[in-house]
Amino acid sequence: MYDLIRPLLFMLDAETAHGLTLYAADVAQRSRLSGLVATPPADLPVRAFGIDFPNPVGLAAGLDKNGDHLDGLAAMGFGFIEIGTVTPRPQPGNDKPRMFRLPEHEAVINRLGFNNGGIDALVRNVEKAAYRGVLGINIGKNKDTPNERAVDDYLLCLEKAYPLASYVTVNISSPNTQGLRDLQEEETLRRFIGTLRDAQERLAGQHGRRKPMLLKIAPDLTEAELDAIADVLLASGIDGVICTNTTIDRGHVAGHPLAGETGGLSGRPLFAKSTAVLRAMRERVGDRLPIVGVGGIVDGDTAAQKMEAGAALVQVYSGLVYRGPKLVAEAVAEIRRRGIVA
């Protein structure tokens, strides 16, 4: 069905189409018509960072920033759903237009800028949702919070998200909040993660259950930066890493009329770069740290390649724009076919 409606959606502004698609998913779920939109895959159980996943293909953060659409999205068969990025206070994000499709490249450029309703709104949405599957909550900082006080924003979000999340992702890698990626610098990251890890252990005692914490990193990192980040992650005892966020590199879309738009590039052109970072991180951390692979998954083959490069789980987002919900079942089927997950 998505193949039939995609041309109509592509006649709309990308962000408008995004909102309409989420609305349609909600309507289909409430009307019990989700089966016409997507056939959920058969289970392919995976265990990572202490959590059992029904299948290894999840939804990346960014599509449902506020947790408004959990039940509609769950009907698509994701093994897990990650919502956010959420900040302590509501913020509108960057000026529109701020999302652009590049169909020739199966790509998207966005400079949304952590537009969201704030952590309290997200908590209310999660509490009223029927979804009880694996839920990641991706946390960030408000645009006007200086980096010197950024950890306070993450601590506040961690505190409020912790009781509801299956795991929490710390996002310091978006290119759309000025200066955010500076938090990936080695000594800054060491202090930053150390503070959050202390809070994680305190919250585990307070709530009687330890929730994993993951760090999401950028694809635009040098070998030396990857060395430093890997050292910090292993020393900190963090539970996992997500490779990667969107890229500021335009090499694969050079010459496209929209290539000059600022923001993060995702979709097929990101695949090679993000997978190289995933593979490089796996080489550095060995089997000591689970990795979630995201970036450029547009079919079953690219999903399986992420797993073969060392990912324990994968996430999709921009691929859904071009392939629709069937991408989930296709990815699970190809991972199963290759025997990557027993």
CA–CA separation, 196 and 93 (whole Å): 25
174 is annotated as an active-site residue:
yes
Q: Which pair of structure tokens corresponds to residue 254?
A: 């050079």
What is the length of the chain? 342
State CA 284 to chain mean position distance.
22
CA–CA separation, 48 and 120 (whole Å): 28
CA distances from 246 to 80, 136, 251, 294, 318 (A): 20, 18, 13, 9, 10
For residue 75, give every residue at least 6 positions away whose Cβ sits within 8 Å of its Cβ, in sequence order, or none. 25, 28, 29, 34, 37, 38, 40
Closest by CA to 174, choosing from 99, 265, 245, is 245
- What is the number of alpha carbons within 13 Å of residue 312 lying toward its C-beta? 24
CA–CA separation, 176 and 264 (whole Å): 7
Q: What angle do CA 243, 244, 249 make, to 5 degrees?
A: 140
Q: What are phi and psi of 115, to 5 degrees?
A: -70, 120
CA–CA separation, 204 and 225 (whole Å): 31
CA distances from 16 to 19, 125, 177, 211 (A): 5, 21, 22, 35
Options 174, 266, 274, 318, the catalytic residue = 174
CA–CA separation, 178 and 248 (whole Å): 13
Closest by CA to 136, choosing from 168, 104, 160, is 168
Closest by CA to 232, choosing from 269, 257, 197, 180, is 197
Where in the sequence numbering do the catalytic residues fall? 174
